Structure 1
Amino acid sequence: MPDLEPPQESPLPLLEQRVASLEAELQASRQDALTLFTEAPVPYLLLTAQGRIQEVNRAASGLLGRSREVLIGRHFSQFLAPESQGSFELLLGQAVQHGLSRRGEAQLLHADGSTFEVLLDLDAEKVDGDFRRFRLVLTDITAYKQAHASLLDTTAAQQEQLAQHSVRIRELNQELEQVMTVFVQQLHQPLTRAMNFLGLARTERTPQEQQQALLHTEQAVQQVFALMASIDRYMQMRSMRVRLRPVDLHSVLKEVRKNAQPAMADRNVQLTFDPLPTLQGDPRALYLVLDEYIANALKFTKEREMARIHLRVKDLETEYHIGVEDNGTGFNMRQKDRLFRLFSRLHSSKVYEGSGVGLITVRRSCLRFGGRVWAEGKVDQGATFWFAWPKQPAIRD
């Protein structure tokens, strides 16, 4: 008799076991995913394409102040302030049509009737080729909004205070200018009388000692006159109404040389210059700068047998550098920062006259047009006083 083969075991039970195992794993994975979703610290919602809530986690329920049973199936816009509902519908419509991630802000309504600011992050998920389900993440930004609003309020208050301070400073500046102008005008008359008296008192029959004392007094009054003239010029510059127009520096220098003729009389002065540009500026302001610089050069070269003064020009990309170079007394570069301070002097007034106002007037004039000033020098080897003038100046009051 032939051997009988044992009956083979059907593969169906094995497949059924495998399917059962996979279903158990899938169920476990779903449970894990649901747990992660439910317990996530970030407020999550799942929405339909119509904006209805399919699922919500605990964080979102807590944020809205409503249970999951109350939220499921409700339209999300019901929990938004009326002014935010339109923005949300637009955000959802864009996500339905184009997918991708969308972000917006809204006011959320809590169950107790209060509102708070939230950031909406909406991500689209395709189902059967269409964007049909959407993940919505809510971020409470109320504290940020409040801080931002507080910052804006503080900034507005500070700007208001700054505006008030600016008005007050302008008023005080105007008052100071008026006081200084009137002071100079009122002081001029008694000083003139004093000069006349000193001239009459100092005669040939006046004893020598008295003549010397009267001469010193007369020189002191002349210094006061010079100081008054410098202050008056400074105040005029501060209140000068300037406007931008092309200014040929050759024409300005011509006028400056005319004014300098008395100081150059009986002296051997060589005044030369590079080709001078045409600047955008105000002719009175540029005249003031060159006049002060050249007067300064003439003053500090008076001990030289031949005074050499040269106007140097450097044409840079955005500005001109113009310097008045001399072969005079010069100065120590360690003291350069004192040059453009009000009433600051590097040399004794007994040797070199001056009020200490001229260079600060130059500085102020250049600053009004966005320029700047500086100086270079060596003791007993001369100095060069520079000013930088922008090619596109802007008037600054």
Structure 2
Amino acid sequence: MTSTTPIAAPLARLLIVDDEASQMTALCDVLEDIGYATTGFTSGVEALQHLRKEQFDLVVADLVMPQIDGIALLREAQAIDPFLLGIVMTGHGAVDTAIAAMQAGALDYVLKPFRLSVIQPVLARALSVRKMRLEIAELQERLRQHVTELELANKELESFSYSVSHDLRAPLRAISSYSSILVQDYSQEIPDGARKLLTKVTANAHRMAELIEHLLHFSHLSRQVLKHDTVHIGEMVAGIVEELQKEENARPLQVSVGSLPAATGDAVLLRQVFINLLANAFKFTRHTAAATVEVGAKFEDHETVYFVRDNGAGFDMRYAAKLFGVFQRLHAASEFEGTGIGLSLAQRIVQRHGGRIWAEGAVGQGATFYFTLSPPSDAAVQPASTPR
């Protein structure tokens, strides 16, 4: 019985070019002995012809050769294979020229007559650089593929949004319109029970239309290009509070706004976050006798933590994870109106800004919503004194 030892794969495939045959042969032999696969030529023209047929990892070329010198050879070789790395060989008197060759694209150079202890680390370094460049190219290609896939997914999402907008809204409008016509034009013939059912049909059609509108809004925000401007949060919140208070019809509601540092982000999207959180605070304090809403901020771990706190209905912390789900609600629609998408929008916007959002609360004791944003790079943000 005989056994064969498997042949180890070469360390790398080297193309060696030197017009001095003895130098070329000696270098090929020495490098073959330590595990490299070598192919040698004394003609740069012939080496380039062979390179078009076979793939190599490195080309080691003499700097001064007839027909085509080492610099020109490396340029043409890299035009054939952009990932092929080149090393030039030169005598002691031509080091300046070798450096010029590196500026022209060679990775390194070795002096002739060569020594194995010198050329080995040069080859190892060149192979490491080649491996790194190949890995980067692979990552870039995968990134291009992912971008293509995302672009396709976005087109499909836009198509879906168009379908939702046109194909679903039309029958909903018909249901709502015909139900209203029945109630208005045939009220005498319709029994009270049937009239109540038709009223519920109309109300649910309106609610469905509202859900579709909010879903489209959620989809649009997810694809909107993000701006990175300095946003003056204090001025923004003051305007939002003023608008919301006008809608409250003089309901007794105490609102306090602390110092709110500027942030880096998209002003339109961040405004939506504060509108959603403040509108919730106003809504869920509606049945609270001495309703209060507080807005504040503090600086923590190189980011600003903003919060909106109220003393309203609150929620059970066991269900806190459901708060930010699309169309998730912890209160009955008969008690507090809404579609359950406002907090989902807020979460998506904050996450797109690189921040976090979370909530704390208790049933009947109110709720506090926190979220983080990065301050402007040139802002001297002072820690807020408001406790968490």
Q: Do they superpose with TM above 0.5? A: yes
Q: Distance in 1 between matches of 2:254 and 2:154?
A: 44
Q: Is 1:389 the equivalent of 2:388?
A: no
Matches within 5 A, 1:55-74: 60=30, 63=33
Number of the residue aligned with 1:169: 153
Distance 1:190 1:241 in 2: 35
Which of 307, 312, 319 is residue 328 of structure 1 equivalent to? 312
* SS of corresponding position for 1:351: coil
Inter-partner Cα distance in structure 1 for 2:160 and 2:230: 32
Separation in 2, partners of 1:266, 1:188 = 36
Amino acid at match of 1:85: D
For each residue in 1:222-272, what CA deviation from the matched residue of structure 2 results, as whole angstroms up to 9, or x when unmatched?
422432342243244345455344433344234423543475236332222
Deviates more, 1:285-294 or 1:242-251: 242-251
Structure 1 position 149, deviation (Å): 8.5
Q: Which residue of 2 aligns with 1:278?
A: 262
CA gap 1:153/1:206 in 2 versus in 1, 3 angstroms: closer
In the alignment, the residues of structure 2 paired with residue 196 and residue 262 of structure 1 have an alpha-carbon distance, to the nearest angstrom, of 31
Counterpart in 2 of 1:4?
none
- Does structure 2 conserve the Cα–Cα contact (< 8 Å) formed by 1:202 and 1:214? no
Return the alpha-carbon distance in structure 2 between the equivalents of residues 133 and 83 of structure 1.
12
SS where residue 319 of structure 2 aligns? helix
The counterpart of 1:313, out of the listed 289, 297, 307, is 297
Displacement after TM superposition at 1:389 (Å): 1.7
Q: Structure 1, residues 65-100: CA drift from partner, whole Å, max 9, x if none?
A: 9xxxxxxxxxx996997852224534x639999xxx
The CA distance in 1 between the partners of 2:329 and 2:93, in whole Å, is 73
| 1:93 pairs with 2:98 | no
**Separation in 1 of the partners of 2:150 and 2:299?**
37
- Counterpart amino acid of residue 252 in structure 1: M
**Aligned counterparts, 1:1-397, within 5 A:** 60=30, 63=33, 84-86=61-63, 87-90=87-90, 93=92, 134=115, 136=117, 155=139, 157-183=141-167, 186=170, 189-190=173-174, 192-194=176-178, 196-197=180-181, 200=184, 209-210=193-194, 212-238=196-222, 240=224, 243-261=227-245, 264-265=248-249, 267-316=251-300, 318-392=302-376
User: Residue 129 of structure 1 aligns with which residue?
Assistant: none
Per the TM alignment, residue 292 of structure 1 is displaced from its structure 2 partner at its CA by 0.8
TM-score normalised by L of structure 1: 0.59
SS in 1 for 2:89: helix
- Alignment partner of 2:61: what SS? helix
1:202/1:211 contact within 8 Å kept: no
Given that 1:274 and 1:312 are in contact with CA atoms closer than 8 Å, whether structure 2 keeps it comes out as yes
1:332–1:208 distance in 2 versus 1, CA, 3 Å: same
What percent of counterpart residues are identical? 22
How far apart, in 2, do the equivalents of 1:157 and 1:280 lie? 32
Shift of 1:360: 1.3
Whole-angstrom distance in 1 between the partners of 2:298 and 2:291: 23
Structure with the larger strand share: 1
CA distance in 2, matches of 1:317, 1:143: 42
Q: Provide the rounded CA distance (Å) in 2 between the counterparts of 1:326 and 1:95.
A: 78
- Verify the 8 A CA contact 1:198 1:218 in the aligned structure 2: no
Instruction: Give me the whole-angstrom Cα distance separating, in 2, the residues matched to 1:254 and 1:184.
Output: 38
- For the residues of structure 2 that align with 1:311 and 1:247, how far apart are their CA atoms? 16
Deviation at 1:180, TM superposition (A): 3.2
Identify if the C-alpha distance between structure 1 residues 152 and 316 changes in structure 2 by more than 3 Å, giving closer, same or farther.
closer
Letter of the structure 1 residue corresponding to residue 263 of structure 2: L
CA gap of 1:295–1:156, structure 2 versus 1, over 3 A, is: closer
Aligned 8 A contact 1:252 1:286 in 2: no
Residues 150 and 262 (structure 1), Cα distance of their counterparts in 2 relative to 1, 3 Å cut: closer
Q: What is the alpha-carbon distance in structure 2 between the residues aligned to residue 235 and residue 133 of structure 1?
A: 65
CA apart distance, 1:301 = 2.2
Contact 2:183 2:195 in 1 (8 A): no
Change (3 A) 1:147 1:245: closer
Structure 2's unaligned 5+ residue stretches are 1-19, 48-58, 64-86, 97-101, 103-107, 378-388
Output the CA distance in 2 between the equivalents of 1:362 and 1:61. 63
Alpha-carbon offset, residue 383 of structure 1: 0.8
- Per-residue CA deviation, residues 91-142 of structure 1 (Å, 9 max, x unaligned), is x639999xxxxxx9xxxxxxxxxxxxxx9998x9xxxxxxx99555765879
Distance 1:194 1:319, change over 3 A: farther
Q: String of CA shifts for 1:130-160, please: whole Å, max 9, x gaps.
A: xx99555765879989977876775565344
- What is the distance in 1 between the residues matched to 2:359 and 2:143? 38
C-alpha displacement at 1:277, in angstroms?
2.9
Contact 2:359–2:367 under 8 Å retained in 1: yes
Bigger Cα displacement from structure 2, 136-145 vs 272-281: 136-145
Whole-Å separation in 1 of the counterparts to 2:328 and 2:243: 25
SS at match of 1:328: coil
What does the per-residue CA deviation read over 1:190-216, in whole Å, with 9 as the maximum and x for residues that have no partner? Answer: 355256337627969975544543444
Which blocks of at least 5 consecutive residues in structure 1 are unaligned?
1-49, 66-75, 98-103, 105-118, 125-131
